[in-house]
Chains A and B, each alone.
Chain A
Amino acid sequence: QSVLTQPPSVSAAPGQKVTISCSGSSSNIGNNYVSWYQQLPGTAPKLLIYDNNKRPSGIPDRFSGSKSGTSATLGITGLQTGDEADYYCGTWDSSLSAGSYVFGTGTKVTVL
């Protein structure tokens, strides 16, 4: 069971905006940086956001990330049918001595 909680699903019409929350604690999101991954159907995950809000080269600015306290949020504006995918947050969790990387529970985005 993941220590990072995401809503199972979100949906919106093309062109609209969706936000995906990722809730954690002081041992993970509260004191470490968050990354986000997009997994299109049948493919490997791809990095969307790192360091809470930075986009790798090639990721459109329709995708944005933010963090506040022990929660993080991924925003997608101008929703497109190609954005239908599973999205995961991730961060380091320092609750155990050596630490551990943890992923969120995942959120399925549906374009209506």
Chain B
Amino acid sequence: QLQLQESGPGLVKPSETLSLTCTVSGGSISSSSYYWGWIRQPPGKGLEWIGSIYYSGSTYYNPSLKSRVTISVDTSKNQFSLKLSSVTAADTAVYYCARHVRYCSGGSCLYARDWFDPWGQGTLVTVSS
């Protein structure tokens, strides 16, 4: 059974870089058709997709966060990571990692089929001095 587990500091200072790692167990991060994604949820608010990465290193990022986000993958450790720079209090959230199943038709990806399953349990990151 595939499981994902987030890890990283629970407290980050404003203007610094948030760094989290997701460890995948029970399956290979190098499986085809699967991306690996990060999603966050500010306290009391809804879900926001941050970005996703394929085992080859190909990425998709949320345009609203793209300038501050870097997602990387380490296939030897079956892990993928998130870095979010120049954080502010608005970046305080529970951060989830999840397997991103994605199927596309053609180069422009018409009729995209995407879903996230399973999810990690999430980790709360607070931005505060």
Contacts and interface: CB of A to CB of B under 8 A. Distances in A.
Contacts of A88: 46-47
A102 B63 contact: no
Interface in B89-129: 96, 100-101, 108-122
Given A33-B114, A47-B117, A100 B122 contact: no
A105 interface: yes
Interface residues of B, number: 29
B114 A91 contact: yes
Interface residues of A, number: 29
Contacts of B60: 98-101
A91 to B, nearest CB: 7
A46 B4 CA distance: 13
A89 B46 CA distance: 11
A92 B63 contact: no
Interface string A78-112: 00000000001011101010111111111000000
Contact of B49 (A44, A47, A102, A106): A102
A100 B62 contact: yes
Nearest to A104: B46
Contacts of B21: none
Given A45-B96, A106-B47, A92 B114 contact: yes
B46 A103 contact: yes
Contact of A96 (B37, B63, B117): B63
A60 interface: no
Contact of A101 (B110, B111, B114): B114
Interface of B: 37, 39, 46-49, 52, 60-63, 96, 100-101, 108-122
Interface of A: 2, 31-33, 35, 37, 43-47, 50-51, 56, 88, 90-92, 94, 96, 98-106
Given A44-B120, A47-B118, A101-B114, 19 more contacts: A31-B110, A32-B113, A33-B112, A33-B113, A35-B114, A35-B115, A43-B121, A44-B121, A46-B117, A50-B117, A88-B47, A91-B112, A92-B112, A94-B108, A94-B109, A98-B63, A100-B63, A101-B62, A103-B48
